[in-house]
Structure 1
């Protein structure tokens, strides 16, 4: 593998792409602790825990993300991070408020979806029960 100064990083929740660009370093937290990745790091896969993921971008700036559980795959000069939920913040101070507001909103939407699914499931079961009754 050739030596590189940066790597292609993609951060993807189920709803789309949160970040897609070049970075010179990545820091996050896995189940066994915090770690960092540089462009020429060996290939690996790890499960992420809810944490702050930071990227040192190729232009020298920093990008900060609050993420929920996910999976990180490093292969060559490409890193793909898939997460259940994620938000981008401007700095650590504002990130906490953004994470709390966005994740609470997502929890409410998930709760409503589960409730609607439960009602639908109960209705299907009730209709099947009606089909099994003998007709007079």
Structure 2
């Protein structure tokens, strides 16, 4: 299989000769072998594992995203990714960086929610008149 790992702003990795791949979804982890039927899966933050003859097992921490397998091509599109050889370090990175939103992102979401609700209230008063 050929694996292409995409980030919003660049190609994180292009790997050919992938023997197997394991990814995490809301329903649990699942594996892909070269003969598997085509599929699409929504990925959750976790560890993506793929194996090649040259590199052996490779571990990549990924954020939420989508996996698409068509024929021998596997495209994985995620927001963020980190490669590493230490599983404990990668698991910690997933918990710290991917699963918890930083305070800035939470405050921006709160402000946007207030703006949206204020806008909807004003539009509703226009229709009531």
1:33 CA displacement: 1.6
1:91 CA displacement: 2.0
Seen in structure 2, the aligned counterparts of structure 1 residues 48 and 103 have a Cα distance that, compared at 3 Å, is closer
In structure 2, C-alpha distance between the alignment counterparts of 1:47 and 1:97, rounded to whole Å: 22
The answer as to 2:86 corresponding to 1:91 is yes
The answer as to 2:2 corresponding to 1:8 is yes
TM-score (structure 2 length as normaliser): 0.70
In structure 2, C-alpha distance between the alignment counterparts of 1:108 and 1:63, rounded to whole Å: 32
In structure 1, C-alpha distance between the alignment counterparts of 2:45 and 2:92, rounded to whole Å: 15
1:62 CA displacement: 1.3
Specify the alignment match of 1:76 in structure 2.
Answer: 71
TM-score (structure 1 length as normaliser): 0.67
Contact 2:45 2:94 in 1 (8 A): no
Specify the alignment match of 2:37 in structure 1.
Answer: 42
Instruction: Report the RMSD for the aligned CA atoms in angstroms.
Output: 3.4
Gaps of at least 5 residues in structure 1 are 1-6, 115-136
Gaps of at least 5 residues in structure 2 are 110-129
Seen in structure 2, the aligned counterparts of structure 1 residues 8 and 52 have a Cα distance that, compared at 3 Å, is same
1:58 CA displacement: 3.2
Seen in structure 2, the aligned counterparts of structure 1 residues 108 and 9 have a Cα distance that, compared at 3 Å, is farther
Query: More displaced, 40-49 or 58-67?
Result: 58-67
Runs of 4+ residues deviating >3 angstroms: 96-104, 106-114
Seen in structure 2, the aligned counterparts of structure 1 residues 108 and 10 have a Cα distance that, compared at 3 Å, is farther
1:96 CA displacement: 3.3
Number of equivalent positions: 127
Specify the alignment match of 1:63 in structure 2.
Answer: 58
